[in-house]
Amino acid sequence: MKKRDLCKRIISVIVLSMSIILLNACNKDDDNDDEDIVEQINYSNAANWVAYPDATKAVDVFYVYPTVSSNATGAMDINNEEERALAQGIFKAQASVFEGDANVFAPYYRQMSTKVNMPESGLATDTEEFKRGSQDVQQAFDYFIENLNKDRPFIIAGHSQGTMALIELIQNRFGNDEELRNRLVAAYLIGYTVTDEALNISGLAAAQSSNDVGVVVTYNTQSVTSLGGPMLMPGANCINPLNWKTDNTYADSSMNLGAVFFDDATGTFLREVQYYCGAKINTEKGALTTTIPQIDADTLEFGPYKEGVYHRYDYAFWYRNLEKNVGSRIEAYFEN
């Protein structure tokens, strides 16, 4: 064999071998990708919803519950009966605000649990567990719009991690969808910071009164002296749920139609207190401040937060005012 032909054959073998190696590597990557794909939740199955009502009212609510899971894996197991019960309990404590005026739909989602390993950034939104839960919420919302809502006007509502997921939702779904924005009565995005930047991306605006529509209602509750919690960040919008103003006008406790307390874990009603507390916005911090009865300041369970962070009671302290406001905004929507 000539030397030149031998060289050609050697080169051909090398090229073929490299091709096989590259092909195997690609196939291996594909296999890894398949392993990384997380099965989507089937939201056509009513069992995957905390609430899946017969729609008898003219307006719907899409509600997303706050953090209830302490699953050691870092993410909620929506098939675990104990964790499902916790979601059902907080639904009764919070979403009942809307049930008198609307059909309330609420999906289970694989939320980030309290046992999640936080990333170096320190931001919960950077965790894979939050991202997965947020994707669940968006898939559930898409199913809700396409199959359950039937073109009715709707409200979206949440608290804490539920609000975090809904902020992602409005930025991804509402900004380029005028028809969707036009059917939005209001978004009650309570218990987390909603910035002007997030609103601009979504094409929505912060609420300025008790009956403007297509707007975002948001606030974070704390004591007058509190330094604030991790849910309150610079640039937070805030509205006072007693006088529905966004300035620092004080609303006296006589304007509080009733604080309603539940056992959040079970949804069991505990007590109702009329004229419970007043409220004033700290416009510098974007915080809703209040002074609650001393006996409750000493005995209520506030969770793992600094002094005076009333995050757990963002719905409870203002329950009856929120309930009335839902009806007011729905009425205003149909009058427009």
Pairing type for strands 184-190 and 215-217 reads parallel
Q: Where are the alpha helices (DSSP H) in the chain?
A: 3-36, 81-90, 96-99, 128-143, 161-173, 178-182, 196-202, 294-299, 319-335
Whole-angstrom CA distances from 260 to 159, 160, 200, 329 are 16, 19, 34, 21
Beta-bridged to residue 63, according to DSSP, are: 157
**Residue 97 neighbours by CB under 8 Å, 6+ apart:** 315, 319, 322, 323, 326
Confidence at 61, pLDDT banded by 50, 70, 90: very high
Pairing type for strands 60-64 and 154-159 reads parallel
pLDDT at 8 over 50: no
Burial class (CB in 10 A: 0-12, 13-18, 19+), 296: middle
pLDDT at 258: 98
Confidence at 119, pLDDT banded by 50, 70, 90: confident
Give CA–CA dist 234/75, Å, rounded: 28
| Residue 68 contacts residue 76 (beta carbons within 8 Å) | yes
DSSP conformation class of 242: T
pLDDT at 126: 85
Backbone angles phi, psi at 216, to 5 degrees: -110, 120
178-203 in b/e form (b: 16+ CB < 10 A) is: eebbebbbbbbbbbbbbbeebbebbb
**Under DSSP, is residue 241 helix (H, G, I), strand (E, B) or coil?**
coil
Confidence at 200, pLDDT banded by 50, 70, 90: very high
pLDDT at 75 over 90: yes
| Residue 199 contacts residue 206 (beta carbons within 8 Å) | yes
Closest to 218 in 3D by CA, of 274, 262, 164: 164
User: Which of these ranges, 18-22, 78-82, 126-130, 181-185, has the smallest mean pLDDT?
Assistant: 18-22
Give CA–CA dist 156/153, Å, rounded: 10
More confident: 172 or 36: 172
Q: What percent of the chain has pLDDT over 90?
A: 84
| Residue 50 contacts residue 92 (beta carbons within 8 Å) | no
**Residue 118 neighbours by CB under 8 Å, 6+ apart:** 124, 127
Instruction: State the chain's mean pLDDT as an integer.
Output: 90
pLDDT tens digits for range 243-258 = 999 999 999 999 999 9
pLDDT at 15 over 50: no
Provide mean pLDDT across the span 143-154: 98
pLDDT at 230: 93
Closest to 277 in 3D by CA, of 239, 241, 246, 327: 241
Give CA–CA dist 242/318, Å, rounded: 7
More confident: 271 or 122: 271
Closest to 128 in 3D by CA, of 138, 114, 116, 120: 116
pLDDT at 56 over 70: yes
pLDDT at 38: 66
Say what the pTM is. Answer: 0.88
pLDDT at 118 over 90: no
Provide mean pLDDT across the span 134-159: 98
